[in-house]
Amino acid sequence: MTFHSTSEESLIWFGIFKESIDSAFDGILITDAVLNEPGPHIVHANPAFCRLTGYSLKEVIGRNPRFLQGPETDRQVIERLRSDLENGRIFEGSTLNYRKDGSSFQMHWTISPVKNEQGETTHYVAIQRDVTEIKKMLSILRHRAVIDGLTGALNRAESETILETEIERAERYESALSLVMLDFDHFKKINDVHGHNVGDMVLTKATELIQSSIRSSDHVGRWGGEEFIIILPQTKVEDAQRRAENIRSCIEAANIHEDLQVTASFGVAGHKRGLDREALVGRADKCLYDAKNTGRNRVCAMTEKT
């Protein structure tokens, strides 16, 4: 885009350009091209920008756009913005900005140079859009894509993905990895006698108990129905067995629903070099089967050597 400094034609073009900017849906700022402090300076802002930020045109003219930044503005994005402009590149990015009333919003914007006939950058045009609601919706969709809707644990697909990642890491760094599988005992009876609402509540409260008993680096996933897995990175099987026993006793002692006795059986397996996801799950599932067949409400483990 080129601005001509004289001629009637350029004045007509400038008027059309300004009218287009002022009628745009997105917020638009025009600044000079002085990148060093105290510049750049705002030379024009359209009505949409004023509505977006709460500032009047009079309040923003002459100011540096940095006044919109705040404590949670992503500094890396701002550094990239400066680098792109200094190197003659069009900038595009998103970060948190702040309105006049102090409220924050997620802004996505592009900044493009405006050049004169000599090819020199004389101004920058920034087109801004509030994407707060879009960001929120994407966050909700991402959450729904990986989280079990009832219990808040990871869903099956995400559990499989994380388990594969942890197996690869254990192989690469020759570190310990353990997998715990647990299944609530006589769960069908709970549903049949007390109803599915109570059954759902048992799963939800028990999951909260499990999640409160693990480290931030561990992962709890709902494998299916009343069956769950716990992925324990950098954990030897003996330690995993002790932790499973602690969770088992906590579930047994918890008053999850009135006088309803809730217990769970556990299978614990340690990773061996060369095992893939299915093989490791199969080892833990075999131990869970053994726990179920030898009295339930107990922990059975398979070591790395077996």
pLDDT at 111: 96
Q: What's the CA gap between 219 and 233, in Å, rounded?
A: 9
Average pLDDT of span 127-135: 93
User: Within 13 A of 140's CA, how many CA atoms are on the CB side?
Assistant: 6
Is 9 a residue whose pLDDT tops 70?
Answer: no
Residue that has been written with the tokens 């869903």 in this structure:
155
Per the prediction, the chain carries an average pLDDT of 91
Which pLDDT tens digit goes with each residue over 213-264? 999 999 999 999 999 999 999 999 999 999 999 999 999 999 887 778 899 9
Catalytic residue among 168, 226, 227, 238: 226
- pLDDT tens-place string over residues 188-219: 999 998 899 999 999 999 999 999 999 999 99
Give CA torsion, residues 28, 34, 39, 40, to 10 deg.
10
Q: Residue 1: what pLDDT?
A: 46
- What pLDDT is stored for residue 253 in this prediction? 92
Give me the residue label for tokens 């998103």: 94
The CA distance from 49 to 103, in Å, is: 15
| pLDDT tops 70 at residue 5 | no
- What's the pLDDT at 168? 96
pLDDT band at residue 3, thresholds of 50, 70 and 90?
A: very low
Segment among 21-25, 43-47, 153-157, 186-190 with least mean pLDDT: 21-25
Q: At what angle do helices 196-212 and 187-194 cross, to 10 degrees?
A: 130
| Weakest mean pLDDT among 15-24, 130-139, 174-183 | 15-24
State the pLDDT at residue 139. Answer: 86
Q: What was the pLDDT predicted at 21?
A: 84
Instruction: Please provide residue 101's backbone torsions phi and psi, each rounded to the nearest 5 degrees.
Output: -80, 0
Residue 170 CA from chain centroid, whole number: 24
* pLDDT confidence bin for 10, thresholds 50/70/90: low
Please give the full DSSP string across 96-128, using - where no structure is assigned: EEE-TTS-EEEEEEEEEEEEETTS-EEEEEEEE
**CA of 255: how far to CAs of 251, 261, 262, in Å?**
8, 8, 8
Cβ atoms of residues 237 and 304 within 8 Å: yes
**For residue 37, what pLDDT band results from cuts at 50, 70 and 90?**
confident
Q: Which two tokens stand for residue 252?
A: 């047994």
- Look at residue 13 in the predicted model and tell me its pLDDT: 59
| Angle of helix 156-173 versus helix 277-293 axis, rounded to 10 | 110
pLDDT top residue among 91 and 142: 91
Q: Name which residue leads in pLDDT, 237 or 304.
A: 237
Buried b (16+ CB within 10 A) or exposed e, 205-224: bbbbbbeebbeeebbbbbbe
Tell me the C-alpha distance between 294 and 32, whole Å.
Answer: 78
In one letter, which amino acid is 153?
Answer: A
Give me the pLDDT at residue 55, please. 97
- pLDDT at residue 11 is higher than 60: no
What tokens appear for 106 in the block? 């997620």
Average pLDDT over residues 4-28: 71
Active-site annotation holds for 168: no
Task: Give the per-residue pLDDT at 305.
Answer: 56
